[in-house]
Amino acid sequence: MTRYLDHAATTPIHPQVAEAMAARLGVVGNPSSVHAAGREARRVVEESRERLAAAVGAHPTEVVWTSGGTEADNLAIKGLWWARHAADPRRTRVLVSAVEHHAVLDPARWLASQGAEVVELPVHDDGRLDLAALDAELAAHGDRVAVVSVMWANNEIGTIQPVADVVARAHAWGVPVHTDAVQAVGHLPVDLAAVRADAVSLTAHKLGGPVGVGALVVRRGLDLVPVLHGGGQERSVRSGTLDVVGVAGFALAAELAVSDLPAQTARLAGLRDALLAGVRDLVPDAVLRGPDPASGLRVPHNLHLTFPGCEGDSLIYLMDSHGVACSTGSACTAGVAQPSHVLLACGVEEVDARGALRFSFGRTSTPGDVEAVLAALPDVVTRARAAGMA
């Protein structure tokens, strides 16, 4: 039996979501068609838009369907920069935190080839954005900044970022803010109307929905240059025939995740804390990365540790041989022989950053998963250290 502790990479689809999607798989209809089948498909799309918006505190007209979080991030970063730069050529700067997911960092860095000036803002040792650095950038260059992007919750070390503070500071300079909320929705209370971010990236497969569907919630009236051109779907912001089954599954998954949030938050935090306590007993030199759970600045489902003298890939393979699925950090960079940019940005030495493991919990997680990790870990760490010295 495999113990799955990699929910931050992707989650098992919720049974109710799978059932609802299966019921629609045999129903034909392009939501852009005007005949009865098309109108029925359009009804499902628009009802799903309303349901997703309600789950995250947005207006339905703000929801733009995408193929996932990566597309939503690209649309936000590129679309906002192009629009803002076209309106005011002085606005060339892109401010991002140094611990962003590569779906934000890479589009920002690519924009440098288009004339953007990219500034990667520093973070504290727990991964929280250095707001003083943001203040300094805005004070010096506020009239030249096109967009600020700071993720809601970090996918590797679980740090919750001060998004509302970022929004307040940026808006004072007339600068729009994008936040990648992929790791937040379903794990934290998310009220987009209260936070007032201008663009917010979401995806279904991190909260019990299907892979391949996401959304960018875009503030009404905000200019955004499309990345995809074609049939003009989604207000001409994102062309492409919509995945009716996928968006229906996404909306239901979001509803289920939000409705069960308080109970799940407490349960997952309990599992995380039990695992942390057990690891500290068994491997006392293991180092917690990211905020202390007691601080309230960490998502409840994430535990990230480094193990001195170990290589992360060795740890993963050895844990897998014991029937435990976990990761070193982002699944998008797994297998890449380099330390995490997130840990390096937090000031972790490269040799220490290489010995990372991330355990992430979800709806299907149980105390038995914690017990399985603790049963395997001493042998895994011993063997990984021996391999490192060989």
Which of 193, 234, 198 lies closest to 213, judged by CA? 234
In 3-state terms, what secondary structure has residue 215? strand
Task: Give the residue ranges of DSSP H helices in 304-349.
Answer: 312-321, 341-345
In 3-state terms, what secondary structure has residue 221? coil
CA angle 254, 260, 263 (to 5 degrees): 145
Verify whether residue 332 is a known catalytic residue: yes
Are the CB atoms for 380 and 29 separated by under 8 Å? no
Catalytic residue selected from 310, 326, 332, 346? 332
Query: Backbone dihedral region of 116: left (phi > 0), alpha (psi from -120 to 50 degrees) or beta?
Result: beta
Task: Record the tokens describing residue 283, joined without a space.
Answer: 């491997």
Q: Which amino acid is at 144?
A: R
Run of H or E including 322: none
Cβ neighbours of 212 (radius 10 Å)? 15
Any idea which residues carry the catalytic annotation? 332
